[in-house]
Structure 1
Amino acid sequence: MESYVYGVRRALPPEFQEFNDLKHTAILSIDMHQGHLADTPDCPCPAPRGREIIAPVDEFHASARKTGVPVIHIRSVLRKNGVDDIKGVKSAWRMTFPLHVGDIPNADEHAIEGSRWTEFVTEVGPDDLVVSGKKRLSPFFATDLDFLLRQMGTKVVVIDGGMTDCCILNAAFDASNLGYRVIVARDLVRGTDEHLEDAALAMVSLHLGLVMDAADIDAMWRDGVAG
């Protein structure tokens, strides 16, 4: 097994084999929906760097299904009346992120239930699982994700999607704190920019789990099936 440690690819010692547990692994694919990835001016929370991983994520998931690894798609969904956010206690990112990117014209529509912005852009297979209702940066907060994973007997989570320096990083922190082994697919996550992507992945590699290329994760699983 090889992983990136502070951006440098390294062979891992034998004790890291516990991250290679095919029968107890699940993929968490975070926020790959229209609200971030639509290529239109009214996209309420645009994450344009994420569009380049749509096809690779689909390919990775297709391969995972063949090896028996379940795929869990996670999406942000807020109640229509806004009480979860803009008309309740507003998410901090709505105040801070515009300081960097400027005004986001349609931001109030982000993740509103029933809207096109909650529709997945990546493929959802017939046997895939969906966790809806993510309301803040972590997919574990105010959702049943942890309950679902424990019902499935999951011990290792492989994370892809967006955004690396935001929801991916929060997912990795919470998953690790809850006792899961964490792998982040380095080439299947995207963030605000390359600088913050690299910083977030470095943090994961030092404190939370493994940062691996999708091809290496896939090869690890296929070796497990063959074995």
Structure 2
Amino acid sequence: MNETALIIVDMVKDFTDPDGLVFYPQNREILPRIVQVLEKCREKGKLVIFLQHCNRAGKPDEKAAAMRPNCVEGTSGIEIDPMLKVNPEDYVIRKRRYSGFFGTDLDLVLRENHIKNTVIVGTKTNCCIRATVTDAFYLNYNPIVIRECVATNSETVNEVHLNDIQKYLGTVVDMKTFFEKLDNGEW
């Protein structure tokens, strides 16, 4: 049984495109590596889920109002980066908070597909990655983060959160190890 899902967090144009509202270059750097992981997971028949940050246009949202405007519905900023092809069998789940589990049906989708391992890649390690990993851990999934496939705008902050994830919440691996375990059927 296939028990592993790839969850790609918030690789949308506002974060990945140089013209995006909250762009930073680290997201462009990780995109080609995420594409490699996506292709390998598809080759192995893994479930693919795209989390798509999306703030409602013209509606109250105290959390979104406290931040720089970004990922507003109806704009190209919420579109998944074109380097990442979304297939018909993939899930695209919109979210309004850092965690992909909060206020979404992600947990239901994972349970309906008998998923135990959640491979989490994308942006921002200190916010959306960390929150999604934490909730995956609390919901008894096995969170796996691929080191070269997550980023934030500070390498120091990135490392601090990866270290915490490894110590308390899940597993952090490099791409080589991930591919080996995937090929060996461990994930």
CA RMSD after TM alignment: 1.6
Q: In structure 1, which of residues 115, 125, 139 is the aligned counterpart of residue 87 of structure 2?
A: 125
Q: Secondary structure at the match of 2:92?
A: strand
Query: For residues 58 and 90 of structure 1, what CA distance do their matches in structure 2 show?
Result: 31
TM-score norm. by structure 1 comes to: 0.77
How many residue pairs align between the two structures? 184
User: What is the percent sequence identity of the aligned residues?
Assistant: 31
Of 123-132 and 157-166, deviating more is 123-132
Query: What does 1:88-127 correspond to in 2, within 5 Å?
Result: 89-91=62-64, 94=67, 107-108=68-69, 110-121=70-81, 122-127=84-89
Q: 1:97 maps to which residue?
A: none
Once the two structures are TM-superposed, the CA of residue 191 in structure 1 deviates from its matched residue by 1.0
Query: For residues 63 and 157 of structure 1, what CA distance do their matches in structure 2 show?
Result: 15
Q: 2:129 maps to which residue?
A: 168
Query: For residues 76 and 199 of structure 1, what CA distance do their matches in structure 2 show?
Result: 24
Q: 1:55 maps to which residue?
A: 32
Amino acid at match of 1:157: T
Q: Is the 8 A contact 2:55 2:64 kept in 1?
A: no
TM-score norm. by structure 2 comes to: 0.92
Q: Which runs of 5+ in 2 are unaligned?
A: none
Q: Secondary structure at the match of 2:121?
A: strand
Structure 1 or 2, whichever has the larger Rg, is: 1
Q: Is the 8 A contact 2:7 2:119 kept in 1?
A: yes
Q: 1:38 maps to which residue?
A: 17
Query: For residues 156 and 33 of structure 1, what CA distance do their matches in structure 2 show?
Result: 24
Query: For residues 149 and 164 of structure 1, what CA distance do their matches in structure 2 show?
Result: 21
Amino acid at match of 1:90: K
Which ranges of 4 or more aligned residues in structure 1 deviate by more than 6 Å? none
